[in-house]
Amino acid sequence: MLNRRNFLTAAVGVVAATGLAACAKEDDSSSSSDSGSGGGKKLVLGFSQVGSESGWRSANTDSVKEAAKEAGYTLKFSDAQQKQENQISAIRSYITQGVDVIAFSPVVVTGWDAVLKEAKAKKIPVVLTDRSVETSDESLFVTLVGSDFTDEGRRAAKILEKVLEKAGHKGPVKIAQLEGTTGAAPAIERAKGFKEVMDADHADDWKIVVSQTGDFTRAGGKQVMAAFLQSNPDIDVLFAHNDDMGIGAIQAIEAAGKKPGKDILIVTVDGVKDGFIAMSEGKINAIVECNPLLGPQLMEVVQKVKDGETVERWIKTEESDFMQDQAKAALPTRKY
Ligand code: GYE
């Protein structure tokens, strides 16, 4: 079932999730469309986005906005700039405004119960999108529309096997890991899935020698990779939890006089256009796709929830994996 929510690492404890963020900055831009269903009252959807940290996120935001317009909903959209207190205050404001449905992509997994209980008390259904939460009360959200991040981690390890074979790499494999935002579902679960395969099949030859968060940003990836190269100049492989951190890391690798994709083999997650460009230039060796175009599916679910229909607990996204030799052919048809 929803195994994404069934584990927690100590790391998530560092996130101070209090629900008391009275001073949170809310960037609430209300957008509505005149097209759509016509006639009756438009469905009002309050959406709290994580931020604009990556190419994935921009594509996701565009998809949500377009799909809401297409569906003829009134969308109240806010960008939390990767801060939980901003998301909590946006959700509170949607509750006060009495929107029909709240959807949000939680920046971290813990610390949502208080605000979700407030929504429940006002009978406003909550749909999670992209990322999941950890909660003791399953009734606090209706469903999750998003990817299986643990599986993405497993797929990354599996595709790394192919990358190593193709590169003719023999012997021990020293791996550097650039983690996503600390406490975020995709960071926890991609690391978990990767380690699962590593422990099961490569306990003797693979080792994660350094692992740190780059917060899913290019700047973070560049800075942390530069530090990795200082402490561990003999890294063989980089596993980055998203393309943007991988692209930042490529800059650090080049600045250190090494060849990304050759001296250091690189596997990333997402599959955004810039990731595919780096892959077609030979700098990324493989990408595990994570589809951000969740808007249409989300709007469908929101309508069903509003209409009181039953929906599945987890509506998963379908995805593929890409090796470098597929990059050039796939690039023109990439939609994000
Ligand atoms: O992989 C990363 C973004 O939650 C799946 O968040 C999303 C992740 C995505 O910042 O690029």
Residue 178's SS3 state is: strand
Closest by CA to 335, choosing from 53, 31, 55, 75, is 55
Ligand 1 within 6 A of 54 CB? yes
- Which carries the bigger pLDDT value, residue 33 or residue 256? 256
pLDDT band at 7 (very low <50, low <70, confident <90, very high): very low
Pairing of strands 265-270, 237-240: parallel
Residues in the chain: 336
Check whether residue 217 and residue 116 sit in a common domain: no
Give residue 249's Cα distance to chain centre: 18
Ligand 1 within 6 A of 186 CB? yes
Instruction: Give the atom of ligand 1 at the shortest distance from the alpha carbon of 130.
Output: 4
Contact between 225 and 218 (Cβ < 8 Å): no
Check whether residue 168 and residue 260 sit in a common domain: yes
In this structure, what DSSP letter does residue 242 have? S
Give how many domains the chain has, as a whole number: 2
Pick from 155, 216, 288 the residue to mutate for probing ligand 1's pocket: most ligand atoms within 8 Å of its CB. 216
Is the per-residue pLDDT at 19 higher than 60?
no
Q: How far is the CA of 310 from the centre of ligand 1 (A)?
A: 28
Ligand 1 within 6 A of 157 CB? no
Position 197, amino acid: V
Measured torsion, CA atoms of residues 272, 276, 278, 279, in degrees rounded to the nearest 10: 140
Is position 106 within any domain? yes
Q: How far is the CA of 95 from the centre of ligand 1 (A)?
A: 26
What does pTM read for this prediction?
Answer: 0.89
Check whether residue 172 and residue 186 sit in a common domain: yes
In tens, the pLDDT along 33-81 reads 444 444 578 999 999 999 999 999 999 999 999 999 999 999 999 999 9
Check whether residue 199 and residue 125 sit in a common domain: no
Q: How far is the CA of 317 from the centre of ligand 1 (A)?
A: 14
Ligand 1 within 6 A of 112 CB? no
- Which carries the bigger pLDDT value, residue 155 or residue 20? 155
Report the pLDDT averaged over residues 311-330.
95
In tens, the pLDDT along 201-238 reads 999 999 999 999 999 999 999 999 999 999 999 999 99
Q: What is the pLDDT of residue 286?
A: 98
Q: How far is the CA of 223 from the centre of ligand 1 (A)?
A: 19
Q: How far is the CA of 55 from the centre of ligand 1 (A)?
A: 9
Position 131, amino acid: R
Ligand 1 within 6 A of 270 CB? yes
Is position 308 within any domain? yes
Check whether residue 156 and residue 280 sit in a common domain: yes
CATH for 313: 3.40.50.2300
Q: Which domain holds residue 92?
A: 21-146+293-317
Is the per-residue pLDDT at 100 higher than 60?
yes
In this structure, what DSSP letter does residue 147 have? -
Check whether residue 303 and residue 286 sit in a common domain: no
